[in-house]
């Protein structure tokens, strides 16, 4: 039995979609979980049935951290927020993991400030799962946006943490690792990449530099950028996919294809479902003393259910212990 | 009349496709150009008809700079290479512009070492045109990969240069400018972006930070990353587009769509034609004392024709003078 704390107030569609997702997750027959749904009771309770599932409790938290709030300041000033209370539920042992779709920086700050870092880890990183079109495999992008301006050694540390997590997440025995750069040759890169490259040489599974076009492709299981580049790459891929999808549907909407378009659109949407952020299952915050799953900002109920699945899997696999071991292995 | 020097030996498909493109460009009725095709005569001449167009001459250059060559070293050691000879043709006034599809770093080094920088420009940048799906408009990404590890002031300089070039390339009177960052708020970014943001405030048309998802979308006309991030973003977008295109075609290849797939595929390919790098027309190297158009590595004959068009346009518009003026405007 795993207990998952869910921030009911975080995300563009909060609280309605988050509450719906929490309820769905609690009702899943194949998950053996308890759910602690934390948020403003006045807004959360009306969204729930009068008879709650026996494995779901609501915990009142009067304050809300907004997307526009400064992360560190919000954690300090909004101590009664649903986000801070989620982190405290894990710290105090009332939950085994937390799931949030709100302000990413604030979620990270809450986990860092309430749990602390894993010994030996300098800065946390977000391990974002990337789908690979036409494949069941996924990649981890580490860091997807937690830490900008890292030192070279931190990149190598994230590679080790990402690799340890990939074994849990994807059940891959020996994950491969690539350093994201602007060319495949070892000498390619900016100052950060050139300094980091040598530190990667003794990381098991290191295949060398990879490039932007190796994202969302069966290249390396773990791809390591700094958090700034990782964030730009993620959003660039998202924008490109949306742009081309719009173009494809505009073509199918032409009058000459009116009679055949619908089944093709349906087949395309089904094929593309695995690419949608709602279905990739949320990102693990690597390097903190607890399991924190960050779901994307516009999470639907489905996204929350998938994030809860990943949280449960991470707890059962003892991911914090595995990451602690991985962080120690470089010393 | 504009004279364009073309490096016959640069690019994955050189010399065959480059020579074919040079010939096509010379024969175009709507272009008033002379072509100087520079390369190894033993390999170039057999690809040409015995009777050349009167506006095309072949100039022999016995050496070839390979994709794998170190840029600066290759320019020093291969003085008789087609690439160096192209830059010298412009320097010596035998050509008004050069077009190359080979080693990007070496092309940049040749232009820098043979022409020098525009007064006031610290480092060159590559202005890569990005298509916007479903639109006739394009964006310029500056820098697309010339200079990694720039100083904050160089980003602001590239913004001014990019803006001046956008007025020529896209005939936009008042181009808008965005600083590529990991969030829209002015406080977002790594140390480089935070330091650069204030320097952008007095750049005309500055709309603030933009994100990865604003690439290939009608957001800003000029988007400014450092060369490392720009390269990763370009290749990420390319990879995402190829991935999704493969998925769409795999769906259309299913037996149930056999009877309707062909016209849809044709319509999709036509709609996507503007997105292909062959059709975007090549990237201008900003900041050097001459017109250098860099076409992508796997350039076809069509890509070379389009790059020649852009070179001709740049010369006629006096782009070097305009960039010199823009570089001076910040002083």
Q: A257 — contact with chain B (CB < 8 Å)?
A: yes
pLDDT single digits (tens) B222-233 = 999 999 999 999
Residues of A in contact with B262 (CB under 8 A): none
pLDDT single digits (tens) B70-90 = 999 999 999 999 999 999 999
At B258 the pLDDT is 93
Q: Please state the pTM of the whole predicted model.
A: 0.95
A26-58 b/e (C-beta count within 10 Å ≥ 16 → b):
beeeebebbbbbbbbeeebeebbeeeeeebbeb
User: Which A residues in the span 284-323 are in contact with B, Cβ-Cβ below 8 Å?
Assistant: none
- Cα dihedral sign for B286, B288, B291, B297? negative
Residues 6+ apart with CB under 8 A from A259: none
pLDDT level of residue B61 (50, 70, 90 thresholds): very high
d(CA B225, CA B238): 17
Report CB contact under 8 Å: B232, A250. no
Strand order in the sheet with B283-286: B56-60, B33-39, B2-7, B97-100, B291-294, B283-286, B125-131, B138-142, B222-224, B177-180, B206-210
pLDDT single digits (tens) A93-142 = 999 999 999 999 999 999 999 999 999 999 999 999 999 988 888 999 99
User: Which B residues in the span 80-139 are in contact with A, Cβ-Cβ below 8 Å?
Assistant: 132-134
* Dihedrals phi, psi of B249, to nearest 5 degrees: -70, -35
Mean pLDDT within A257-261: 94
User: Which A residues in the span 204-243 are in contact with B, Cβ-Cβ below 8 Å?
Assistant: 211-217, 225-229, 231-243
Place of tokens 């100052």: A191
A24, two tokens: 């769905």
Using a 10 angstrom Cβ sphere, with 0-12 exposed, 13-18 middle and 19 or more buried, the burial of residue B107 is: buried
What is the nearest CA distance from B114 to chain A, expressed in angstroms? 24
Return the residue of B nearest to A144 by Cα. B182
pLDDT level of residue A330 (50, 70, 90 thresholds): low
Residues of A in contact with B271 (CB under 8 A): 247, 250-251
Is it the case that residue B310 has pLDDT exceeding 90? yes
User: Which A residues in the span 184-203 are in contact with B, Cβ-Cβ below 8 Å?
Assistant: 185, 189-191, 193
pLDDT single digits (tens) B24-43 = 999 999 999 999 999 999 99
Residues 6+ apart with CB under 8 A from A163: A175, A177, A203, A204, A205, A221, A222, A326
Give helix B227-252 / helix A227-252 axis angle, nearest 10°: 30
Residues of B in contact with A183 (CB under 8 A): 231
What is the nearest CA distance from A86 to chain B, expressed in angstroms? 25
d(CA B193, CA B152): 7
At B330 the pLDDT is 58
Report CB contact under 8 Å: B243, A268. no
What is the nearest CA distance from B170 to chain A, expressed in angstroms? 21
Concatenating the DSSP letter of every residue in B119-150 gives TT--S-EEEEEEE-TTSS-EEEEE-SSS-SS-
User: pLDDT averaged over chain A?
Assistant: 95
Q: B149 — contact with chain A (CB < 8 Å)?
A: yes
pLDDT level of residue A159 (50, 70, 90 thresholds): very high
What is the nearest CA distance from A95 to chain B, expressed in angstroms? 32
Report CB contact under 8 Å: B148, A227. no
Is it the case that residue A331 has pLDDT exceeding 50? no
Is it the case that residue B331 has pLDDT exceeding 60? no
Question: What is the set of domains in chain B, with CATH numbers?
Answer: 1-120+287-331 (3.40.718.10), 122-279 (3.40.718.10)
Distances, alpha carbon A111 to alpha carbons A84, B28, B140, B142, in Å: 8, 64, 40, 37
Q: B267 — contact with chain A (CB < 8 Å)?
A: yes
Other beta carbons within 10 angstroms of residue B154's beta carbon come to 24
Report CB contact under 8 Å: A145, B228. no
Report CB contact under 8 Å: A247, B133. yes
What is the nearest CA distance from B185 to chain A, expressed in angstroms? 9
Place of tokens 């969302």: A216
At B237 the pLDDT is 95
Is it the case that residue A2 has pLDDT exceeding 50? yes
* Dihedrals phi, psi of B124, to nearest 5 degrees: -75, 165
At B5 the pLDDT is 98
Q: A145 — contact with chain B (CB < 8 Å)?
A: yes
Residues of B in contact with A247 (CB under 8 A): 133-134, 268, 271-272
Q: Are the beta carbons of B306 and B278 closer than 8 angstroms?
A: yes
Calculate ∠ Cα B211-A270-B238, nearest 5°. 35
Cβ-nearest to A248 among B189, B213, B268: B268
Report CB contact under 8 Å: A241, B240. yes
User: pLDDT averaged over chain B?
Assistant: 95
pLDDT single digits (tens) B262-302 = 999 999 999 999 888 899 889 999 999 999 999 999 999 99
At A186 the pLDDT is 86
């Amino acid at each position: 039995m795993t207990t998952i704390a869910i921030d009911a107030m975080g995300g563009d569609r909060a609280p309605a979609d988050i509450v719906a997702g929490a309820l769905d997750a609690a009702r899943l027959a194949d998950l053996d979980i308890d759910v602690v749904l934390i948020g403003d009771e006045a807004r959360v309770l009306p969204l729930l049935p009068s008879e709650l599932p026996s494995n779901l409790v609501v915990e009142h938290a009067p304050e809300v951290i907004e997307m526009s709030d400064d992360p560190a300041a919000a954690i300090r000033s909004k101590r009664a927020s649903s986000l801070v209370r989620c982190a405290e539920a894990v710290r105090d042992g009332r939950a085994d993991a937390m799931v949030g779709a709100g302000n990413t920086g604030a979620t990270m700050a809450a986990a860092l400030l309430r749990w602390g870092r894993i010994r030996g880890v300098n800065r946390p990183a977000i391990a974002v799962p990337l789908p690979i079109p036409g494949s069941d495999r996924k990649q981890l992008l580490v860091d997807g946006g937690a830490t900008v301006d890292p030192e070279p050694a931190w990149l190598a540390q994230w590679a080790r943490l990402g690799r340890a997590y990939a074994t849990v997440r994807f059940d891959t025995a020996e994950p491969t690792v690539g350093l994201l750069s602007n060319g495949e040759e070892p000498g390619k890169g900016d100052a950060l990449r050139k300094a980091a490259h040598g530190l990667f040489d003794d990381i098991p599974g290191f295949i060398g530099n990879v490039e932007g076009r190796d994202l969302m492709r069966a290249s390396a299981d773990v791809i390591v950028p700094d958090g700034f580049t990782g964030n730009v790459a993620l959003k660039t891929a998202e924008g490109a996919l949306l742009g081309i999808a719009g173009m494809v549907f505009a073509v199918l909407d032409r009058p000459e294809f009116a009679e055949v378009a619908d089944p093709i659109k349906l087949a395309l949407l089904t094929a593309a479902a695995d690419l949608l952020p709602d279905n990739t299952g949320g990102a693990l915050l690597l390097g903190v003393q607890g399991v924190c799953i960050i779901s994307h900002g516009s999470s639907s109920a489905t996204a929350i259910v998938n994030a809860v699945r990943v949280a449960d899997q991470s707890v059962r696999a003892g991911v914090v212990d595995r990451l602690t071991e991985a962080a120690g292995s470089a010393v």
